[in-house]
A and B are shown apart, each in its own frame.
Chain A
Amino acid sequence: MTDAIFPQVRIVSTRLLRPDTVETLLNRLVQGGGIRRMSLNGPGIPATVPYGPARGQPNPHPDRKAIRVGDQDVQLQVQVGTIILELEDESYIPAIEEAVDDVFAEKGFSCTVQQGRYMKTQPSLSDYARYGPDADRDLLGLADPRRKDGLVIIQGTK
């Protein structure tokens, strides 16, 4: 869960992004610092075919791959369309806007940085019913806390 005192921004592009674009953008954001938590959103790319006659067969997809962010490998499971960030304070927002403008300058489509409230501040009744009283509060509202692979922690930005 987030504390309401921390500002949040959402980076939304008009196209769904390729993994190498995401890698470039995230590395720029991480270098700028000031990010407490980050969530990558977009339509899921399953490892196996989920429906139909070919159900269960492997689903080779070039966009479902690991990217290098900071000092960590991040396994992408979605085609990234939106990036949600929780920041230390509002002073980091201009640097984020500048990084986004730089990365998307040559792309031929736009990307906006919006400020607002995009993460849950307290667990909902549905969260309680679904994940129980001991669910990881760092993940509630961002991802399924029952997932085994958990968070990726990118260190060394301070």
Chain B
Amino acid sequence: MAYKPQYGPGTSIVAENRRKQMNPNQKLEKMRDVTDEDIVLILGHRAPGAAYPTAHPPLAEQQEPDCPIRKIVTPTEGAKAGDRVRYIQFTDSMFFAPCHPYQRTYTECYRFRGIDPGTLSGRQIVECRERDLEKYSKELITTELLDPARTGIRGATVHGHSLRLAENGMMFDMLQRSVLGEDGVVKYIKNQIGEPLDRAVAIGKPMDEKWLKDHTTIFHSLGGSAYRDDAEYIEYVQRIHTLRTKYGFLPKED
């Protein structure tokens, strides 16, 4: 029988959302339109329209060593062109953000090629070749993986994921890169490292509380689905915990 990945345990809506995001055969729901130029502005790695700076000559122009792995692996577009490695970093509020750092890393590893994700408690960074990064960032920003109010695109000074929300429902950001306008649309007025942009970049209206609770991948006992209520998830985590603890004592199978 062919192997069929399960992506994760659990019977709750949170577990279901996690599986849905991780499964590359499941198309992510498109929520908003953001242009390529807007993405370049938010990332702040190069000026819109500028050529991609390179770290090495294009692969076609340089002598490749005779390597069996290079014959198996097709290079991504960015690697082929010799682009620099650049990053995008996200902060997800604990108040029902649609994604969270570990989930982002799993999702990206299942869906994207040629990436190097870094997972931390309050932020998640993904590094890859610049041209690939812009393509992946567009998917991360325009789909259901992002909520304009509860997710922040923050290259530095990320503090805010575990804080109370502001009065208008935005996650705290000490650099206030994004603001909620009078028209209810969230606009980025600074790039991800906090440099002011020449023009504001609109990324859409914040999702309502019901949508967030239906699409979140975060267990939350206050107001959301509690981790302890998902017996299958608990059983799975306890099994992993037991096995890795026992393994420390090098058990012998009977």
Binding site for B on A (CB under 8 A): 13-18, 21, 43-46, 49-55, 57, 59-63, 79, 81, 107, 109
Chain B residues in 8 Å Cβ range of A63: 176
Chain B residues in 8 Å Cβ range of A109: 167
Given A16-B172, A59-B175, A52:B155 Cβ within 8 A: yes
Q: Which of B115-169 contact A (CB under 8 A)?
A: 155-157, 159-160, 163-168
Chain A residues in 8 Å Cβ range of B174: 43-46, 50, 59, 61
The number of inter-chain residue pairs (CB within 8 angstroms) is 64
Closest Cβ neighbor of A82 among chain B residues = B164
Q: Is the CB of A51 within 8 A of B165?
A: no
Q: Is the CB of A79 within 8 A of B193?
A: no
Q: How many residues of B contact A (CB 8 A)?
A: 19
Q: Is the CB of B175 within 8 A of A79?
A: no
Chain A residues in 8 Å Cβ range of B166: 15-16, 18, 79
Interface residue SS majority, chain A:
loop
CA distance A54 to B159 in the complex (A): 16
CA distance A49 to B166 in the complex (A): 20
Shortest C-beta distance, A155 to chain B (Å), equals 30
Q: Is the CB of A57 within 8 A of B167?
A: no
Given A59-B175, A62-B176, A52:B194 Cβ within 8 A: yes
Chain A residues in 8 Å Cβ range of B160: 43
A16, A53, A61: the one within 8 Å of B175 (CB):
A61
Chain A residues in 8 Å Cβ range of B157: 49-52
Q: Is the CB of B172 within 8 A of A51?
A: no
Q: Is the CB of A107 within 8 A of B167?
A: yes
Contact of B195 with A by CB under 8 A: yes
Q: Is the CB of B163 within 8 A of A43?
A: yes
Closest Cβ neighbor of B168 among chain A residues = A18
Given A57-B194, A59-B194, A49:B167 Cβ within 8 A: no
Cross-chain pairs A/B with CB under 8 angstroms, 12 sampled: A14-B164, A16-B165, A16-B167, A21-B167, A43-B160, A46-B174, A49-B157, A50-B157, A51-B156, A57-B195, A59-B175, A81-B164
Chain A residues in 8 Å Cβ range of B167: 15-18, 21, 107, 109
Q: Is the CB of A79 within 8 A of B156?
A: no
Chain B residues in 8 Å Cβ range of A62: 176
Closest Cβ neighbor of B192 among chain A residues = A52
Q: Is the CB of B164 within 8 A of A15?
A: yes
CA distance A109 to B172 in the complex (A): 17
Shortest C-beta distance, A119 to chain B (Å), equals 22
Q: Is the CB of B165 within 8 A of A15?
A: yes
